[in-house]
Amino acid sequence: MLLGAGFGLRLRGQEEPASLQEEEPAVPVNWVEDLNSAITNELSRLPAMDQAVDSFMNHWSLKGATLAVMRNDSLLYARGYGKADPDTPMTPGTRMRLASVSKLLTAIGIMRLQEEGKVFLDSPVFGPLGILNEYDRHIRDDNYYLITVEHLLRHQAGFTSRGGDVMFSTAKFMQKHGIKEPPTTDFLVQKELARPLHYEPGSWQEYSNFGYLLASLVIEKVSGMPYEEFMQREVFEPALCHGFRLGGDYLKDRQPGETRYFTQPDDKPVPSFDGRYASVSRCYGGNYISGLYGAGGWVGSAVELARMVACIDGGGPVPDLLDPFSVKQMTVWFDDNTYGLGWLDCRPEGEWTRTGSFAGTSALIKKYADGECWIFITNTSTWRGSRFTRNTGELCKNLRGRFDSQLPVRDLFRE
């Protein structure tokens, strides 16, 4: 399943067509600068649709959720439902863990670096010319030298979660390697690279959080900046999205403006990921959130996430961060079994999907072929786990069918 020039993707040294080299217009001065504060619940009210969302939340016992609806880069509707914590209502700007939606953000970072000529999709990750070749001395399987940046982004690098996902098995990893503290990223990568790959890179695909951790390190290496700093400076700030942060592990670590997370009443406590506590809520200490980086660590709001989608959709009026060719690379459809770059699924008719979930969080981005984008994020686990995003997808489809013609024609991104 090797992907490259034969599929119309630009590789190192290939010029893009002249028609795609047009500069994006400067950001107009009338864009809202602080989306999370400026866009409030009072700006969006459609009683019948809000009631449908409330009914959905009651059915699934959700404490809080946010909904953002965008059409052709214009934010039409943005509202918070329920509670961010027992004393605070949810708002459109409330920040929540984005889980694997973070992978889309990381892919944007890679594409920004490719446009600067600092990395390419076919760049080797390991080996003499590899970006992360400082780890070569730990490698025992020569197949690692076949891994490219594109393989990391498409989950084709040869990693699997058979025997447990190392990014969500921290306590097991600590016990195996005889360490008392959660592993540093460097130590984790060293130990994982000593293991054989499960398939030849490019010949198959299997979802891998570890692959996106490596993609985060690629960003650090080629940019010369810490991952979070690069993303803030080169991705979020140019998009006027100032609220994205890497999240923490425990309640005490939550960011300003971040929601509280909840599990279902019958969800049993678990030992903490770091061995510090015998019993914790699964959403506070059950997973090593701060160790996920670009695989699942970002915290952000629905409105800023909508703005990010507007910046990578290849259309206007919001200026894009990426040129049209990069957008095409991220979203081109090959077959039903090939992931997009950062996107979970890209359909031939132009529908793009990104989901994310872990304890206390479920997030969905649904970008439809007609230019609409629906984003729904919750702060509560359900018994369905990651399968719950299918239900939120059905909710968005239902709401579109019933209320699309009733949405206001306006743009909340503008002053």
Q: What are phi and psi of 333, to 5 degrees?
A: -100, 130
pLDDT confidence of residue 367: 97
Q: Left (φ > 0), alpha (ψ -120 to 50) or beta: where does 71 sit?
A: beta
pLDDT confidence of residue 386: 80
Taking CA atoms, 180 is separated from 187, 249, 272, in Å, by 13, 17, 13
pLDDT in tens, 126-158: 999 999 999 999 999 999 999 999 999 999 999
The structure tokens listed for 77 are 């509707």
pLDDT confidence of residue 415: 80
Bond from prior residue into 317 cis (ω within 30 degrees of 0):
yes
Nearest in space to 309 (alpha carbons), one of 249, 357, 374: 374
- Residues 362 and 301: their CA atoms lie apart, in Å, by 13
Mean pLDDT of the chain: 93
pLDDT confidence of residue 10: 42
Taking CA atoms, 204 is separated from 122, 197, 305, 354, in Å, by 17, 12, 30, 20
Beta strand pairing call for 74-85 and 298-300: unpaired
Residues of the chain falling short of pLDDT 50? 1-21, 27-29
**For residue 359, how many C-alpha atoms fall within 13 Å in the half-sphere facing its CB?**
22
- Residues 334 and 340: their CA atoms lie apart, in Å, by 9
- Residues 49 and 53: their CA atoms lie apart, in Å, by 6
Helix axes 170-177, 185-193, angle to 10 degrees: 70
- Residues 323 and 330: their CA atoms lie apart, in Å, by 11
All residues at 6 or more sequence positions from 283 whose CB lies less than 8 Å from its CB, including other chains = 261, 262, 263, 358, 359, 360, 361, 381
- Residues 385 and 359: their CA atoms lie apart, in Å, by 8
Chain centroid to Cα 163, Å, comes to: 24
Helix axes 324-331, 102-115, angle to 10 degrees: 140
Q: Left (φ > 0), alpha (ψ -120 to 50) or beta: where does 226 sit?
A: beta
pLDDT in tens, 72-87: 999 999 999 999 999 9
DSSP category for residue 141: -
pLDDT confidence of residue 20: 43
Taking CA atoms, 106 is separated from 101, 148, 321, in Å, by 9, 16, 13
pLDDT confidence of residue 24: 54
Helix axes 102-115, 209-223, angle to 10 degrees: 30
- Residues 261 and 79: their CA atoms lie apart, in Å, by 18
